[in-house]
Amino acid sequence: MRERRGALSAEALLARLRGDADERPAVDPGLAGGLRDWFEDVLGAAGGSPDAPVVRVTKETVNQVLVCEAHALSRTAMPRTVTIELARGVLVDALFRQWVTLGDIAEPWADATAAVECAGDEAVVRFIGDLDTRSRDRLAEEIREHAARITSVWPVSNPSWLARTQERLEVPLGGGRLVLSGVVDLAFGAPCAGRASVCLVELKSGARRLEHRGDLHYYALLETLRGGAPPFRIATYYSATGELDVEQVGEDVLLGAMHRTLAGSERLCRLAAGAEPARTANPLCAWCAELPGCGPGHGRAGSRVPKTAGDPTAEERVWADSPCWVEEEIV
């Protein structure tokens, strides 16, 4: 069951994240092992050279390769492009970590930019430094608004919650030939063999997008494989509106994430081994660097939006505005 409501009070938000402890599902002791064996069997059947490079699978690479293999391959060679949206997300994430861990935000803009500088994110620091005064002031005002929503709603973590920010989830498979990887904004609760006891939360500073749900399903799968028990709840908090999407984790969520991750992993392994990428027409064709030599892409490239092949900024806009591709489930 997935719940979505408007802005919440602090008490309501906490209640929806924690739920009723007595109603949390019992952990199936064979579930995590069965999912891992399933993954190992598929990887074994796919073969591959032991000397091949390690394939790291993330939510982004799964999304991209299931849309179009050629597009996914072209993205690996593209440098990271910082936009206002990306910079805002990095800054808001930094403030969220600060609030969860310290329970205090003195001056949102100064605290956020200092945190990004300390983290060594030179691309974002340089992007902010190159903004004109008007754009920088507008971004700073946005950051203050997001911070106000976070501090007015999110409770200061009790030590007993075992809150972890930027929790890294990594699951090596196939003797280390493939690594499922992700970083979740907030995890709390300790893994338990009896009842599911972990909640995973993603913070989003932008608009709601359909793939956010699939991203959380991917994280739920990783937590299950890593810890031996699934999380009892997964949630997305939208700091621009104060809305919270909450979903309980059942076997249907994990099996759906497993099918999708397996399909993406097989394709990524095949591409890493040097296979020719398949070309699939999709809403991103007009912004793909491969468009000039792509037959299927030419047939789908018509758009009302001004476009330049390989322009990552434009691509991010259409990715946000055209979420329908996520429905093309690969099983």
Q: Is the pLDDT of residue 324 over 50?
A: no
pLDDT tens digits for range 229-282: 899 899 999 999 988 899 989 889 999 999 999 999 999 999 988 899 999 888
Q: How many of the other CB atoms lie within 10 Å of CB of 301?
A: 17
Per-residue b or e along 46-76, where b marks 16 or more CB atoms closer than 10 Å to that residue's CB = bebeeeeeebebbbebbbbbbbbbbbbbbbe
- At a CB cut-off of 8 Å and minimum separation 6, what does 1 contact? 247, 248
Task: Give me the mean pLDDT over the 285-312 stretch.
Answer: 67
**Per-residue model confidence (pLDDT) at position 113:** 97
Distance of CA 44 to the CA centre of its chain: 27
Q: Which tokens in the block code for residue 284? A: 């991103």
Write the single-letter amino acid at 199: C
Q: Which amino acid is at 304?
A: R
Any idea where the domains of the chain sit in the sequence? 2-77+161-272, 84-153, 285-325
Let me know if 243 is exposed, middle or buried by CB neighbors in 10 A (0-12, 13-18, 19+): middle
Question: Residues 160-185: pLDDT tens digits?
Answer: 888 899 999 999 998 888 999 999 99
Query: What pTM value is reported for the model?
Result: 0.85
DSSP string, 43-96: HHHH---TTSPPEEE-HHHHHHHHH-HHHHHHHHTSPP---HHHHHHHHHHHHH
Mean pLDDT over all residues of the chain?
Answer: 84
Per-residue pLDDT, averaged over 105-119, amounts to 96
Residue 38 burial (C-beta neighbours within 10 Å; 0-12, 13-18, 19+): middle
The per-residue pLDDT for range 12-31, each reduced to its tens digit, is 787 788 777 777 778 888 88
In this structure, are residues 85 and 208 in contact, taking their beta carbons and an 8 Å threshold?
A: no
pLDDT of residue 6: 55
Q: How confident is the model at residue 117 (pLDDT cuts 50, 70, 90)?
A: very high
Instruction: State the CB neighbour count (10 A cutoff) for residue 1.
Output: 6
The token duo for 22 is 């007595």
Please, which residues have CB within 8 angstroms of residue 169's CB and are 6 or more apart in sequence?
180, 181, 182, 183, 184, 219, 222, 223, 226
Contact 246, 233 (CB under 8 A): yes
Query: Each residue of 47-80: pLDDT tens digit?
Result: 666 667 889 999 999 999 999 999 888 888 777 7
More confident of the two residues 42 and 140: 140
Buried b / exposed e along 315-330 (16+ C-beta atoms within 10 A): bbebbeebeebbeeee
